[in-house]
Amino acid sequence: MTKHELKMLTLMAFVAVFTLFISILCGPAGLPSLRNDLSAWSALLELRAMRSITGFVVGAALAAAGCVLQTILRNPLAEPYILGISSGASVGTALVMTTGLAMATPLLLPLGSFACSLLTILLIMAVARRAGGIDIPRNLILTGIVTGSVLSSLLMLIITFSRTHTIRSITWWMLGNLQCVSWELLLICALPVILGILLLIAEAKTLNAMLLGTENAHNLGINTHRSILKLTGIATLITACAVALSGIIGFSGLIVPHIMRRRIGANHRYLLPMTALGGGVFLVVCDIIGRIAVPPHEIPVGVITALTGGPFFLYLMTKRNQH
Amino acid sequence: MIDLKNISLSYDSKKVLHNISLKINEGELIAVIGPNGAGKTTLLRVIAGALKPKGTVLLLGRKVHRIPGAERAALLAMVPQNIDPDIPLTGYDFVMLGRTHCLPRFGVPAHDDIEAVLEAMRRTGTLELKTRFFKEMSGGERQRLALAMAFAARPRVILLDEATAHLDLHHRAAIMSLLREMNRVKGVTVIMAAHDLTLAGRYFNRLILLKEGHLLQDGPPRSVLNAQILEEAYGCAVRVIELPDNLGSAIAPLENSEII
């Protein structure tokens, strides 16, 4: 990593801390006076801090997973949704919610989410392997898209048979909800995300080699088969944790790595930490907008990511074509 | 150094290599020639361990598939024919890929890695491409960087698949001289798949001629670049013209050749 890259990374870390600070101060209710009600003040700050950190963790997880999948699949449109990982995680979380298991212990939400996304990715790998091998990105993408569609329908089926109050919470969760229910759940999900991102950064040289395609990566000394399994497994884990925390939030895993790659290149030693920090900042900023745009109402963060990220992505595409 | 015993390989039902046996000694300078679809690239991929054929491929007495990836990459580097031009890496980062087998997981590349990359870029005349993005470069510049990537690995064997195809005359001559120098000074074994028969005869000591996956001829350029043998391999009449000053032979197809 060059001195410039290190400087940019430090700057990004400062931006992240600053954004989190602003996020804690912002909200439709503003901040109550410290003199009037100290307990309300601290409770509100705690809620907002939990929400901001959740947003940051989820954004970082989705962006890092998207970055890795874009490289492995050699497809700029790849993200956790394209492989059906998010859909698998959604089904798992919805099952835990509808069966009432979520009330027993918060640990079951990420566990259900991870179990279903793991089953999904294993199924995709098995089918892709039979279709010609997991080293061929096309096999993984096609299998992932079809599996994702089937799982989305399964999610709708679960909702159809749910009780009215559960339908409401699942619908809210499907739009993306960063208000985490407890510090315990946040900690349970954040630790695997942080560990997963560090493991991905440790695989930066493998990811760099994979940019040349699987055969060239093999010639550079990479065991491509094992690496694809390992990297997809880590991306699945961190996506499952993100979905368990916040529900379905689109675009974060697509546009942040895409923009970062275009701005700073694809050296994953630098790209991955920058993308993770950038993803965290993006989601926290989207959440701030959702909270203050139309007070006292709150717009779900998934709506904001789609409304801001989508057009910006289209703008980038047209700019690229003009270029 | 490299020993191929009874190598056969099929893609689906099409057999592309038929029972090929070869011995390649350390420090040889070899061109693999033959018409389109003769199996040149496939043979290189088999030697690199990217394809698993029937038969045995030994590198320094060990089965090439059994050699751990990092160890194999330190011994053998491959320069591919085509590289995706959209790779968003700078020239320096691209050449650093050649050091993948010895880079640390965390932290910065070691002094030796940086030195190897800069030396490879200096030798291939690509230092000015250090900070430019790969996708902004011409085909020839990308090809020279691909060579630099292979040189940066400091391997004992370099496999090149049509590696000079996109280069102009000046850079082609420079790269071929460089390959010969590395072969002479450092004893690097060079095996290159080539379409340009004049270039193959000019720079290589041994030519391996393939046709439809069969080994047709194997020997010094003077014995392989023979009008009758080439006519049999390529299915067209050619004239072999001896060049003065030991520059090898120029191969010219004759106009009345049958086009298939």
Distance from CA of B236 to the nearest CA of A (A): 34
Per residue in A34-81, pLDDT tens? Answer: 566 777 777 778 888 999 999 999 999 999 999 999 999 888 878 887
Determine, for residues B70 and A221 on separate chains, whether the beta-carbon distance falls below 8 Å: yes
Residue with tokens 């292979």: B150
Residue with tokens 């993984």: A140
Does B49 or A28 have the greater pLDDT score?
Answer: B49
Q: Which of B78, B81, B83, B93 to mutate to test the interface with A (most CBs of A within 10 A)?
A: B93
Tokens of B230: 């080439």
User: Residue A323: what pLDDT?
Assistant: 40
Average pLDDT over residues B103-127: 89
Which member of A202, A222, A261 has the closest CB to residue B100? Answer: A222
Rounded distance, CA B64 to CA B46, Å?
A: 9
Task: Grade residue A96 by pLDDT with cuts at 50, 70 and 90.
Answer: confident
Beta strand extents in chain A (DSSP E only): none
Sequence-separated (6 or more) residues with CB below 8 Å from residue A240: A85, A88, A89, A92, A110, A113, A114, A116, A117, A118
Average pLDDT over residues A231-256: 87
Distance from CA of B217 to the nearest CA of A (A): 28
Determine, for residues B105 and A205 on separate chains, whether the beta-carbon distance falls below 8 Å: yes
Q: Give the full edge-to-edge strand order of the sheet including B54-59.
A: B14-24, B2-11, B54-59, B62-63
Determine, for residues A220 and B45 on separate chains, whether the beta-carbon distance falls below 8 Å: no
Task: Grade residue B260 by pLDDT with cuts at 50, 70 and 90.
Answer: very low
In this model, does residue B69 exceed pLDDT 80? Answer: yes
Per residue in B29-65, pLDDT tens? Answer: 999 999 988 899 999 999 999 889 999 999 998 999 8
User: Residue B47: what pLDDT?
Assistant: 94
Per residue in B155-166, pLDDT tens? Answer: 999 999 988 877
Q: Which of A6, A200, A205, A219 to mutate to test the interface with B (most CBs of B within 10 A)?
A: A219
Among the listed residues A102, A40, A113, A223, the one whose alpha carbon sits nearest the alpha carbon of residue B50: A223
- Encode burial over A16-38: b for 16+ CB neighbours within 10 A, e otherwise: beebbeebbebbeeeebeeeeee
How many alpha carbons fall within 13 Å on the CB side of residue A284? 29
In this model, does residue B258 exceed pLDDT 60? Answer: no
Q: Judge whether A205 is closer than 8 Å to chain B, CB to CB.
A: yes
Per residue in A191-204, pLDDT tens? Answer: 999 999 999 999 99
Tokens of A174: 């499907």
| Strand B14-24 relative to strand B29-33, pairing | unpaired
User: Residue B155: what pLDDT?
Assistant: 93
Q: Give the full edge-to-edge strand order of the sheet including B189-193.
A: B76-79, B157-161, B189-193, B29-33, B206-211, B214-219
For residues A109 and A89, the answer to whether their CB atoms sit within 8 Å is no
What average pLDDT does the structure give for chain B?
88
Distance from CA of A306 to the nearest CA of B (A): 26
Q: How many CB pairs under 8 A join A and B?
A: 75
In this model, does residue B153 exceed pLDDT 90? Answer: yes
Which chain A residues are closer than 8 Å to B74 by Cβ? 221
Beta strand extents in A195-318 (DSSP E only): none
Which member of A203, A220, A261 has the closest CB to residue B73? Answer: A220
What average pLDDT does the structure give for chain A?
85
Task: Grade residue A234 by pLDDT with cuts at 50, 70 and 90.
Answer: very high
In this model, does residue A149 exceed pLDDT 50? Answer: yes
The rounded percent of chain A whose pLDDT value lies above 90 is 32
Determine, for residues A202 and B106 on separate chains, whether the beta-carbon distance falls below 8 Å: yes
Average pLDDT over residues B169-180: 86
The rounded percent of chain B whose pLDDT value lies above 70 is 98
Rounded distance, CA B11 to CA A21, Å?
A: 59
Task: Kindly list the residues of chain B whose beta carbon comes within 8 Å of any beta carbon in chain A.
Answer: 45, 48-50, 69-74, 76-78, 80, 83-84, 87-90, 93, 96-98, 100-101, 103, 105-106, 108, 133
Neighbours of B10 (CB within 10 A): 13
- Taking CA–CA distances from A265, the nearest residue in chain B reads B88
Distances (CA, A) of B18 to A26, B43, B56: 72, 11, 13
Rounded distance, CA B38 to CA B17, Å?
A: 8
Average pLDDT over residues A96-117: 80
- Taking CA–CA distances from A223, the nearest residue in chain B reads B69
Task: Grade residue B140 by pLDDT with cuts at 50, 70 and 90.
Answer: confident
User: Residue A33: what pLDDT?
Assistant: 61
Task: Grade residue A322 by pLDDT with cuts at 50, 70 and 90.
Answer: very low
Rounded distance, CA A23 to CA A3, Å?
A: 30
User: Residue A31: what pLDDT?
Assistant: 61
User: Residue A106: what pLDDT?
Assistant: 67
Distance from CA of B31 to the nearest CA of A (A): 20
Distance from CA of B259 to the nearest CA of A (A): 34
Which member of A209, A211, A218 has the closest CB to residue B50? Answer: A218
Rounded distance, CA A144 to CA A121, Å?
A: 8
In this model, does residue B139 exceed pLDDT 70? Answer: yes
Tokens of A65: 């997973």
Domain spanning A3-322: which superfamily? Answer: ABC transporter involved in vitamin B12 uptake, BtuC (1.10.3470.10)
What residue ranges define each of the domains in chain B, with the CATH number in brackets?
2-253 (3.40.50.300)
Which chain B residues are closer than 8 Å to A267 by Cβ? 89-90, 93
Q: Judge whether A261 is closer than 8 Å to chain B, CB to CB.
A: yes
Determine, for residues B50 and A205 on separate chains, whether the beta-carbon distance falls below 8 Å: no
The rounded percent of chain B whose pLDDT value lies above 90 is 47
In this model, does residue A32 exceed pLDDT 70? Answer: no
Average pLDDT over residues A252-278: 91
